[in-house]
Amino acid sequence: MVDDPKSLSDLYRVEAQVRVSCRGCGAAEVWELDALIAEVRANGGNTDWRGARSALKCPRRCAAPRIDLLPLPYGKQRARRRAHRHALINLSLQVLREAAQRSASETVGTIEVRLALHVLRPFVREQRLLTEYWKAATIEPRHPWTSCHLPYRWIAQRLLDQGAEVEEANRP
């Protein structure tokens, strides 16, 4: 078993975040390493592993804090992955939303729409919704009632139901 690090700065090597938890009240928060070191120094503590615990306050500010620190290696990598997922979903939804706005008057079955649908496939997890959008995008002849608005709303709602972070402009 690997021991605790000697100081907080040792965690920079593994791009760690730190979970600060209070055994007194059960509260827990995940801190970025830079913010945690700044908080420890602001409270007058030093950044060695054991000393940092005594310089931190309870996340809920309870009366009798007993602070534990738990390093979360590669926490920034997880945060980056979450940010990339957010960007992929919202860029794809933006392409589909703009295509849906044009879909009442023109065919929008373009390579961009196809790529956006392909990108959303692992996040939507229901192929039928994506297929419905593609059918509405490529149907001929075009009529005002053959737009992609309804399939777009289904896709966006499905993403919201699964907990994806959908920007306000892309909400159904």
Q: Which residues pair with 33 in a beta bridge?
A: none
Last residue of a domain, one of 25, 43, 73: 73
Give CA 136 to chain center in angstroms: 30
46 & 102 share domain: no
Share of the chain above pLDDT 70, in %: 96
Instruction: Tell me how many domains the chain contains.
Output: 2
Alpha-carbon gap, residue 3 to 21, rounded angstroms: 19
Question: Residue 157, Cα to own-chain centre: how many angstroms?
Answer: 17
Q: Are residues 88 and 64 in the same domain?
A: no
> Is residue 1 pLDDT above 60, yes or no?
no
In this structure, is residue 1 part of a structural domain?
no
Collapsing DSSP to helix, strand or coil, 97 comes out as: helix
Question: Which of 73, 89, 117 is at the close of a domain?
Answer: 73
What mean pLDDT is predicted for residues 110-127? Answer: 95
pTM: 0.59
Tell me if 99 is assigned to some domain. yes
Q: Which of 54, 73, 92 is the last residue of a domain?
A: 73
Q: What percent of the chain has pLDDT over 90?
A: 40
DSSP-assigned letter for residue 139: -
Domain that holds residue 97: 79-170
State whether 104 and 47 are in the same domain: no
Same domain, 84 and 166: yes
Predicted confidence (pLDDT) per residue in 28-53, tens digit:
888 888 888 988 999 888 888 888 88
Evaluate whether residue 3 is within a structural domain.
Answer: no
For residue 44, the tally of other CB atoms under 10 A from its CB is 8
Distance CA 107, CA 164 (A): 29
Cα 109 from chain centre: 29
Sign of CA dihedral 83, 108, 106, 158: negative
Length reported for the chain? 172
CA angle 68, 74, 79 (to 5 degrees): 100
* 5 pLDDT above the threshold of 80: yes
One-letter amino acid for residue 56 of the chain: L
The answer on 42 and 89 residing in a single domain is no
Region 70-95: mean pLDDT is 85
